[in-house]
Structure 1
Amino acid sequence: MNTPNLTIVVPCYNEEEVLKETINQLTNVLEDLIKDNLITNESSLLFVDDGSKDQTWKIIEEENSWNPYVKGIKLAHNVGHQNALLAGLESAQHQSDCAISIDADLQDDILVIRTFVEKYLEGYDVVYGVRDKRDTDTFFKRTTAIGFYNFMKKIGINLIPNHADFRLMSKRALQELTKYKETNVFLRGIVPLIGFPSTKVMYDRKERFAGESKYPLKKMIAFAMNGITSFSVVPIRFVTVIGFISLVLSGFTGIYALVQNMLGQTISGWTSLIISIWLIGGLQLVGMGIIGEYIGKIYFEVKRRPKYAIETDLYSLENMKYSTLLEKVLANKEI
């Protein structure tokens, strides 16, 4: 296999506190890989600014002016981590033989990027970075994460446990990824569907280098709900089962009440009546909420709105300049 052109895609949202250190460390990784002839010297770091409100884009522009590896895409507004990452991957597939996605917070072990590339050279199209343990997480986050992966497995969704979005994808895997047109993007569920040869690389996750997490509890819950409802209709079927069970129980209760009335043993049941009303009412509201979640997804899908808009693209622009320069050089050689 020829030496690949690698792009490392880094989605960024308000990462001014950590970004310079991230660029410095990833630049060192690229230089080492180039030195060892594992990747070409046209390989790059692609930072996708997801509508940051701080100095993130300014830092990217400054680094781009002197660091030959740093490229950038500025999205017109905040579209969320998954869409920002997708924007970077879709841009990278045109210029690269493979792309690695990684968050800007330096929690993922950048030293295993070398192993990713080695696995790619062995013939794997997708290489998943999988956490070896979750010691850096709080008890709550660790417990809920394990529960989430177990639940997803039980309802038939094929996820890689303890894998976030730290992965390598080959050019043909990226091209297949672009064929998935859904608006509700959940890459951790989509990538395993591609089905090309894949492998895992274990690593230890670190503490965040600087700044605050961009995934508070509210966003984590929304992310989990998006993953569940994007890949399974089990929740709707569960509502149907609950409705059927409630219907059967109400039938037995009705028969029991009728028999008691015939035997003259009618018992006043105000409390039980109110509890039953609240229970059934609650189940109905939950069912309507789950069904509404799916209807809402259909609503957004049928609109077919673009998932992101690129305001400034330093990546494609510089590659066009490079291609034009290369064409001129080749033309002069022919003359």
Structure 2
Amino acid sequence: MNLPILSIIVPCYNEQEVLEETTKLLNAKLKQMITENLVSPKSKILFVDDGSKDNTWHLIYKASLKNELVKGLKLSKNVGHQNALLAGLFAAKDSSDCLVSIDADLQDDIDAINEMVRKYIEGYEIVYGVRSSREADTFFKRFTAEGFYKLMDKLGVKLIFNHADFRLMSRRAVGELEQFAESNMFLRGIVPLIGFNSASVYYERKERLAGETKYPLKKMLAFAFDGITSFSVTPIRLVMLVGCLSFVVSLIFGMYFLALKLFGNTELGWTSLITSIWLIGGLQLIALGLVGEYIGKIYKETKRRPKYIVDVDLFNLPIPRKLVNMEGDEHGSIIETRKLSENN
């Protein structure tokens, strides 16, 4: 049996503090797997620069020149983690048998990659990296994260519990993923829809190597809301249900107050009037906002704009080392890379 060609896809956004250590650890891991005859010597590590504003691309570029196992892909602007991950998967698909996606901070255990590849060799086409526990998280993060998975399950979205974007996919699975042409890509929900033979590998999540998280509370909430509205129409149905209940309640109270008026027991009440107006007004604004969110997603889908634009591709267009000026500054290196890529 031929050894599988593995590509490790690492989306990066402003990761200069952690990138050198990440490169060192992933390089050692890949070399170990090659030595153990678990993967082919043709295997690669592909760093995807998602429009970073620091020296992330410069570090990727230099690492690719010094190490044959390291490749880089530079996007023209920041397009978000999910799209950057897709860019890496699609760029490496044709040259790989299986692909593993992992975040640059390496909080996900790279030792689990060995077991993922073994599962692939056994015949599984999708292998999910699943956290065995959340004991290391704060109470707030643990409560909100687990609440999100439970809420998505109640809404009819089947996610892998405690799984993020640490997973292995076969080339065939990535090829099927490429058929999903929607603009709002929520991979944690889309990948299970592919339906191929899958398995899970459990691991303990570690502390971030360096730098700061790129997913603060605001982004986490936005990500969760995007996942809900991308996969379920239940929220908009709940709004309709609230509207129907409000209508029924208003009819009951209307008949009640009419009876009071007929019997002469009614009194003018400013408080009840203004409260009801504010309540109904608030519900209407919430409903309009939710409907607008869905309409906005439809609008984006109809545009059919590309999810990302590749600026420099060092994976499919290798640069001759003898032509590269290793002493150039960051911007000079990037410009030189682009020109050499175009010439190739």
> How would you bin the TM-score normalised by the shorter chain?
over 0.9
Partner of 2:17: helix, strand, or coil?
A: coil
* 1:135 and 2:150 matched: no
Aligned to 2:34: 34
Deviation at 1:272, TM superposition (A): 1.3
Shift of 1:319: 9.9
Q: Offset of 1:320 from its aligned partner?
A: 12
Taking the aligned partners of 1:193 and 1:50, their CA distance within structure 2 comes to 26
Aligned to 2:286: 286
Residue-by-residue CA offset, 1:136-156 (whole Å, 9 max, x unaligned): 222111111111111100010
- Take 2:233 and 2:45, find their aligned partners in 1: how far apart are those partners? 38
The alignment partner of 2:315 has SS state of helix
- Establish whether residue 256 from structure 1 lines up as the match of residue 256 from structure 2: yes
Q: Which residue does the alignment assign to 2:299?
A: 299
Deviation larger for 166-175 or 140-149 = 140-149
Aligned partners of 2:284 and 2:128: how far apart in 1? 41
Q: Secondary structure at the match of 1:316?
A: coil
Return 5+ residue gaps in structure 2 as ranges.
Answer: 322-344
1:9-30 Cα deviation digits (max 9, x unpaired)? 0000000000010011011111
Deviates more, 1:267-276 or 1:94-103: 267-276
1:190-269 to 2 correspondences below 5 Å: 190-269=190-269
Structure 1 segments unaligned to the other structure (5+ residues): 322-335
1: CA distance, partners of 2:98 / 2:106: 21
Q: Does 1:89 align with 2:50?
A: no
> Which amino acid in 1 is paired with 2:82?
Q
Give the total of aligned pairs.
321
Instruction: Kindly state the Cα deviation for residue 2 of structure 1 after the two structures are TM-superposed.
Output: 2.7
Summarize the Cα distance change of 1:2–1:233 in structure 2 as closer, same or farther, 3 Å threshold. Answer: same
Q: CA offsets per residue over residues 237-263 of structure 1, 9 Å max, x none? A: 011000000000000010000111111
Q: What displacement does 1:71 show?
A: 0.2
TM-score (norm 1): 0.94
Normalising by structure 2, what TM-score? 0.92
2:70 corresponding residue in structure 1: 70
Displacement, 1:75?
0.3
| Runs of 4 or more above 4 Å deviation | none
Quote the residue 2:3 is aligned against.
3
Q: How far off is 1:94 after superposition?
A: 1.1
Structure 2 match to 1:332: none
Percent identical residues: 61
The 1:132/1:218 distance shift into structure 2, 3 A limit, reads same
Give, in whole Å, the separation in 2 of the partners of 1:148 and 1:229.
13
What SS does the aligned partner of 1:19 have?
A: helix
The Cα offsets for residues 171-230 of structure 1, whole Å up to 9 and x where unpaired, read as 100000000000011100100000000011111101111000000111111111110011
- Which residue in the other structure is 1:324 paired with? none
